[in-house]
Structure 1
């Protein structure tokens, strides 16, 4: 299983869900799966768990982000950045297999470099670093 691929697919699905209110979790993730070949079942299952877990905990996750990014309202953040941060917070705080903060932040920064703008990786690092610094993960 490739967790990095699963995260990439999950971010793409979360982005779709964020901007298309009529799309279900299953429709979004299946749309992403249909664009890729040779994805093993365990990678698909992990991607799906990331999408469902992030989406289920969205209100609490968005509250964390809003509190820590006082200069930016969550709806003003770039969609990719917002969804990468959401998923990383899910993995650090809510997932059954919680990631160590350093691992989650590194993975999120790499996703931001792939999918975001030139400034996305610094932004993601700052938001997630603030959460860890303020010990908001308990």
Structure 2
């Protein structure tokens, strides 16, 4: 497994912890890292993803909410919600990562940690967000 995949998986788990504890403090994130001990090579991108999602969470959630027909953001499973948050953050703020890579990674992680429906659900929402971002950038 590549370093970025590991970073994304640990970021999803840290964001899951943030959602469950309702605590996005640096102390909580440090405690998460102490308990789960992500590999050193994965930490820089993990930190970037976690802090980036936390900083832009309201905007990211608004985009997900807009394209998740009949699903309020708080009703989406915690795994799916956080996998999508990471992918949307990457599409908006990581110019070195193609949107399709972010989406494919999200689908794979969603399938691994989510439900049987997670992959298709995540793909549908993220592809709609990608199209909107592409239109804005034209």
Alpha-carbon distance, 1:63 to partner: 0.7
The SS at the match of 1:99 is coil
TM-score, normalised by the number of residues in structure 1 = 0.87
The aligned length equals: 135
Distance 1:32 1:121 in 2: 27
> As a proportion of its length, which structure holds more helix?
2
The SS at the match of 1:72 is coil
Distance 2:76 2:54 in 1: 17
Q: Report the equivalent of 1:54.
A: 53
Distance 2:104 2:51 in 1: 22
Q: Report the equivalent of 1:104.
A: 102
TM-score, normalised by the number of residues in structure 2 = 0.87
Alpha-carbon distance, 1:68 to partner: 0.9
Q: Is the 8 A contact 1:131 1:137 kept in 2?
A: no
Alpha-carbon distance, 1:20 to partner: 0.6
Q: Is the 8 A contact 2:24 2:54 kept in 1?
A: no
Q: Report the equivalent of 1:133.
A: 131
Q: Report the equivalent of 2:112.
A: 114
Q: Does 1:20 align with 2:18?
A: no
Are the structure 2 counterparts of residues 25 and 120 from structure 1 closer, same or farther at C-alpha, using a change threshold of 3 Å?
Answer: farther
RMSD of aligned Cα (Å): 2.0
Q: Report the equivalent of 1:92.
A: 91
Distance 2:136 2:125 in 1: 13
Are the structure 2 counterparts of residues 92 and 22 from structure 1 closer, same or farther at C-alpha, using a change threshold of 3 Å?
Answer: closer
Q: Is the 8 A contact 1:92 1:98 kept in 2?
A: no
Alpha-carbon distance, 1:108 to partner: 0.3
Gapped runs of 5+ residues in structure 2?
Answer: none
Distance 2:136 2:34 in 1: 31
Gapped runs of 5+ residues in structure 1?
Answer: none
Alpha-carbon distance, 1:28 to partner: 3.0
Are the structure 2 counterparts of residues 122 and 29 from structure 1 closer, same or farther at C-alpha, using a change threshold of 3 Å?
Answer: farther
